[in-house]
């Protein structure tokens, strides 16, 4: 399947806060709220020859924790599984920012 047409993926702060609030309410207080990937890792994924975007997959770690797997996507919309694939994000908590609308 070819890459879908480009679109504006941006949302405003209020919508982002609503999305993260609903996740916290559904997942419970002890669930991961998110994770951090260092810029250099994401840039390495996106810099792969032929990479037109990135796709994420939800996963589950052996200990039951949530995982977010990132993989490059080529011009045909296929996963670039022979290249850089990311996970091992730094989970929030404990690696959370100061409280804000997304992470009160």
Q: What is the H or E stretch that residue 42 is in?
A: helix 39-46
Q: How far apart are CA 45 and CA 38, in angstroms?
A: 11
pLDDT tens column, 33-86? 777 788 899 999 999 999 999 998 888 888 877 788 989 999 999 899 999 998
Structure confidence at residue 81 (pLDDT)? 92
pLDDT of residue 91: 72
pLDDT of residue 51: 95
Label each residue of 54-99 as H, E or C: EEEEEEECCCCCEEEEEEEECCCCCECCCCCEECCCEEECCCCCCC
pTM for this entry: 0.77
């Amino acid at each position: 399947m070819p890459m879908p047409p480009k679109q504006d993926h941006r949302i405003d702060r209020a919508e982002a806060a609503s999305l993260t609030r609903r996740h916290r309410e559904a997942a419970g207080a002890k669930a991961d709220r998110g994770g951090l990937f260092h810029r250099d890792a994401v840039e390495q994924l996106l810099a792969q020859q032929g990479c037109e975007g990135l796709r994420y997959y939800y996963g589950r770690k052996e200990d039951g924790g949530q995982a977010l797997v990132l993989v490059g996507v080529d011009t045909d919309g296929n996963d670039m599984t022979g290249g850089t694939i990311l996970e091992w994000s730094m989970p929030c908590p404990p690696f959370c920012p100061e409280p804000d609308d997304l992470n009160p």
